[in-house]
């Protein structure tokens, strides 16, 4: 059985946000993003893909489609195709995100 304890896979780097692959097929990616305070995923856009972020712990400032909002653990948010999106860890705790991207870019 392909079961994973998410916290056992988290790792952080002083260098930049860490992206940890969990599951994928030719149709999607499912990853963990691990951001130390101050780290970010720069704002970017995918023309065809939905990206769903689920905040597992910590809090992040999300920029999606020109709006900004801080979301903490237990929240989910989606960037639809063509919506510019990014996230920054503006808190003092580590930030862990579960991220689904469909289809793969």
Q: How far is the CB of 15 from a second copy (least distance, A)?
A: 26
Copy the structure tokens of residue 84. Answer: 């510019």
CA neighbor of 10 nearest in space, from 101, 98, 104 = 98
DSSP per-residue codes, 8-23: HH----SSS-EEEEEE
Backbone phi and psi for residue 78, each to the nearest 5 degrees, phi listed first: -125, 140
Regarding 43 and contact with a second copy (CB under 8 A), the answer is: no
Residues for the chain: how many in total? 105
C-beta closer to a second copy: residue 7 or 16: 7
Q: By CB under 8 A, tell whether 11 contacts a second copy.
A: no
Chain-centroid distance of CA 103 in Å reads 16
Using CB under 8 A, pick the residue from 17, 35, 64, 87 that binds a second copy.
Answer: 64
Among the listed residues 34, 46, 60, 62, the single contact to a second copy using CB under 8 A: 62
Report the alpha-carbon distance of residue 97 to residue 40 in Å, rounded: 12
Judged by CB under 8 A, the residue of 12, 19, 28, 37 near a second copy is 28
Least Å distance between CB 2 and a second copy?
5
Please state the closest distance from residue 79 (CB atom) to a second copy, in A.
9
């Amino acid at each position: 059985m392909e079961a994973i304890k998410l916290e056992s896979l988290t790792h952080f780097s002083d260098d930049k946000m860490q992206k940890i692959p969990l599951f994928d097929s030719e149709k999607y990616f499912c990853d963990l993003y691990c951001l130390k305070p101050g780290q970010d995923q720069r704002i970017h856009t995918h023309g065809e893909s939905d990206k769903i972020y689920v905040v597992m712990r910590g809090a992040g400032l999300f920029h999606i489609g020109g709006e900004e909002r801080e979301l903490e653990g237990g929240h989910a948010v989606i960037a639809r195709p063509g919506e510019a999106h990014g996230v920054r860890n503006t808190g003092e705790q580590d930030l862990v995100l579960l991220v689904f991207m469909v289809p793969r870019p």
